[in-house]
């Protein structure tokens, strides 16, 4: 995992080397290697962004760092489809943390529509959608989301506990 700042520094360094190499008479293969490396790093910058850093920050529970990294992505539509899904997944988690149910629903739905997520992440997003429906007092929709969540084979103990808590709250309110 290369940090975005280091990636930019390396891109600039390889471009400078590609410009200087002809004057140093290093040969066409070396010049090509510098430019190709710069191009590959540049493509990676736009196709992958800081998503790995965001996911690591979320795993550690460092929401402010994850949010700061999310905000560095200026064009999420340029990310590869898998990374777009994880971008929306990350935004949904941050929105849930801030109790912004509209943004949490929007990003959760978008991430699920894109696909490319593992079962655990799908389970988290379905739980988020069920929680949003519960808070909006749309109990039938919340039950539907929980039923869809039950079809997944989620092994996460914390998620199972949250699901049980939400089911109990639904049973009390119904």
Domain ranges of the chain: 1-48, 50-173
pLDDT score at 166:
83
Q: Residues with Cβ < 8 Å from 17, sequence gap 6 or more?
A: 34
CATH code linked to domain 50-173: 1.25.40.10
Residues 107 and 84 sit within 8 Å (Cβ to Cβ): no
Q: For the chain, which residues score pLDDT lower than 70?
A: 1, 174
Give the end-to-end CA distance of the chain in Å, rounded to a whole number: 47
Pair of tokens at residue 64: 């402010």
pLDDT of residue 93: 92
**What are 11-23's pLDDT values in tens digits?**
999 999 988 888 8
0.85 surpassed by pTM: no
């Amino acid at each position: 995992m290369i940090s975005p700042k280091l990636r930019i520094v390396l891109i600039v360094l390889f471009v400078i080397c590609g410009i200087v190499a002809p004057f140093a008479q290093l040969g066409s293969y070396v010049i090509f290697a510098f430019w190709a490396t710069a191009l590959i790093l540049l493509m990676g910058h736009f196709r992958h962004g800081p998503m790995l850093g965001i996911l690591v920050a979320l795993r550690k529970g460092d929401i402010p760092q994850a949010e700061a990294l999310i905000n560095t992505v200026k064009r999420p539509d340029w990310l590869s489809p898998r990374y777009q899904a994880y971008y929306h997944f990350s935004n949904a988690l941050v929105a849930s943390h801030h109790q912004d149910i509209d943004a949490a629903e929007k990003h959760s739905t978008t991430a699920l529509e894109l696909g490319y997520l593992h079962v655990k992440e799908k389970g988290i997003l379905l739980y988020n959608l069920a929680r949003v429906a519960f808070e909006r007092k749309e109990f039938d929709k919340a039950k539907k989301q929980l039923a869809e969540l039950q079809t997944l084979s989620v092994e996460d103990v914390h998620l199972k506990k949250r699901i049980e808590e939400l089911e109990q709250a639904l049973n009390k309110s119904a």
